[in-house]
Structure 1
Amino acid sequence: MTSTPPPSASPGADWRIDRDRAITLFGPAAHDWPIEIVEETGSTNADLMARLKALPQKANALARPMVRVAYLQTAGRGRRGRTWVAQPGDALLFSLAAVLPRPIGGLAGLSLAIGSALVDGLRTLPVAAPGQIALKWPNDVLLEGDKLVGILVETAWSTPDATAVVIGIGTNVRGAEALAAEVKALNAAPAVPGTTPTALSRAWPHANLTDTLAAELNALEGALQRFGAHGFAAFQARWNACHAYAGREVVIYEQGKELLRGAAVGVDEQGQLIVDTPGGRETVTTGDVSLRLAGNGA
């Protein structure tokens, strides 16, 4: 685990990742992962994508996942090209690179599997009402109905027996009110449930980057192994058990236009959302679509 603070950084600042504590909290596998911590970068996803593209395209090209954490990302982004807004110390921003033993066609549901693992990891922290940490299809983790974590999966290359992926994860740890105000100013639109940002400190006053990083990486280690062996089918039941909108009326939008609406049932073995509509049961595939509770705009 390496870190590269700038000369002006104050090593004792309490919001920074405590290397010794993190190592104590990491499970056996995470101890073996290369973990870099940098002060600033454009995008941790872009950094690791470049490294993966330089590797030979083989299933054994990367012995173990590698992680890159940045206190500040100047070109961070989320799903559908959205900008990720965060101040240093307020959010845990990292990307994880891995080569999974599956062709690209076998990666359906990967972002949902990652979300399921993150819920389990975050629920190990001393948060009030851990059951309020739940999942929103396709790739958000919610806390008390508001957005806590965003996930972005990108593919560097694929062969018939392996795919190199970068998984970007942004978790709001502190400063929820300031973040919500900044996002509102940028969007110039009313807040929509499920998209309004919140932070772990809402349910855990002592929320910090160190414990959050350890909890998430410990959960992801086993999840990557299970997904590589069994795909999303191994996560389907758990995802459905943590589904924030189960049984509630939702609307699916595609490029801002309503695509369908109905009662959200859950997800199938491919990670597709199952919706009971007036015309019958429909499945929705991830793509350029967004989900909202009925009664809220796109």
Structure 2
Amino acid sequence: MNAPTKPSSGAPADDWRIDRARAVALFGTHAQDWPIEIVEETGSTNADLMATVKALPRKAGALVRPIVRVAYLQTAGRGRRGRTWYAEPGNALLFSVACVLPRPLEGLAGLSLAVGVALVDGLRSLPLGPAAGQIALKWPNDVLFEGDKLAGILIETAWSTDDASAVVIGIGTNVKGADALAAKVGALNAGVPAQVRGAAPTALSRALPTANLTDTLAAELNALEPALQRFATDGFAPFRQRWNGCHAYAGREVVLIEQGKEIARGVAAGVDESGQLLLDTASGRETIATGDVSLRLASDGAA
């Protein structure tokens, strides 16, 4: 396949690539030790790492440390529920992290939410000023900025035993090109009801004009490293308060959509200790597990 060409945004020639030397200088002590591979183009970094970890011995300690694969362009990138992830090289940070956690499959509950907390903390460490407070979380796996989608998380399990699970965590963060991306996604969603479309895309450069892939990668990996260690030991419980504190829809009326149809409506009341959504409905509080459902604000036009 042809290598991706420099975006036509007028940015400096080296601005759209990751500066390895700068990234290493910005990495914390532990993230520095993570093997990181950067490729021009691939189908999906998640699929690449899934193949790698599926070949590992199925036991705790099969992977000494997390491994990272970054691609400037993914030709088969996807989000939750198989949605396509649209990105132009240099405008989005697209990478996956593979790790073996010393937890059985049921012990992975809330992992995507814990990763979301780490991403918020990492992104807020950048020099965003007051705008940092506008970075928030949408259940179960989106990071929002001013209500629009800034980043998404896709977690896949390669294998699981009674005492260990191999997972691949895919992360896509829109760094630049918000207007072009919004126009493209808007055209593709023409005629689609608002409650099905979900949040419009945005980019980090709206808050930080100098946003770039290098600094964003370092910020996110530095936050992910301690988060994965803590999740490995304690699960989602220690992340719950922080997640609820970053909840974009806290106290607001929301609807749950499944296959384009509303299945529940109520006031979002945060998440429980396993990462399930707490929804205050007319008939009382309900807990909603992650699955083939989508969360939308009721004010977005859901019927």
TM-score bin, normalised by smaller chain = over 0.9
Alignment-derived partner of residue 250 in structure 2: 246
* Aligned partners of 1:37 and 1:70 also within 8 Å: yes
* Aligned partners of 2:6 and 2:89 also within 8 Å: no
Gaps of 5+ in 2: none
Alignment-derived partner of residue 88 in structure 1: 89
Q: Per the alignment, do residues 152 and 8 of structure 1 end up closer, same or farther by CA in structure 2, a change over 3 Å counting?
A: closer
Alignment-derived partner of residue 229 in structure 1: 233
Alignment-derived partner of residue 16 in structure 1: 17
Mapped pair 1:293 → 2:293: no
Q: Equivalents in 1 of 2:217, 2:173: separation in Å?
A: 9
The Cα shift of 1:240 comes to 0.2
Q: Per the alignment, do residues 14 and 158 of structure 1 end up closer, same or farther by CA in structure 2, a change over 3 Å counting?
A: same
* Aligned partners of 2:5 and 2:89 also within 8 Å: no
Alignment-derived partner of residue 157 in structure 1: 159
The Cα shift of 1:258 comes to 1.1
* Aligned partners of 1:133 and 1:144 also within 8 Å: yes
Q: Per the alignment, do residues 8 and 94 of structure 1 end up closer, same or farther by CA in structure 2, a change over 3 Å counting?
A: closer
The Cα shift of 1:296 comes to 2.0
Q: Per the alignment, do residues 237 and 8 of structure 1 end up closer, same or farther by CA in structure 2, a change over 3 Å counting?
A: closer
Number of aligned residue pairs: give it. Answer: 294
SS at match of 1:76: coil
Alignment-derived partner of residue 203 in structure 1: 207
**Mean Cα deviation higher: 12-21 or 160-169:** 12-21
Amino acid at match of 1:263: V
Amino acid at match of 1:157: W
Alignment-derived partner of residue 167 in structure 1: 169
Percent same amino acid at aligned positions? 76
Among candidates 131, 141, 156, match of residue 133 of structure 2: 131
SS at match of 2:201: coil
* Aligned partners of 2:6 and 2:90 also within 8 Å: no
Alignment-derived partner of residue 176 in structure 1: 178
Amino acid at match of 2:156: E
Alignment-derived partner of residue 219 in structure 2: 215
Aligned counterparts, 1:24-103, within 5 A: 24-103=25-104
The Cα shift of 1:295 comes to 2.7
Amino acid at match of 1:294: A
Q: Equivalents in 1 of 2:111, 2:6: separation in Å?
A: 36
SS at match of 2:236: helix
* Aligned partners of 1:145 and 1:194 also within 8 Å: no
**Once superposed, what is the RMSD of the aligned Cα atoms?**
1.8
Alignment-derived partner of residue 147 in structure 2: 145
SS at match of 2:200: coil
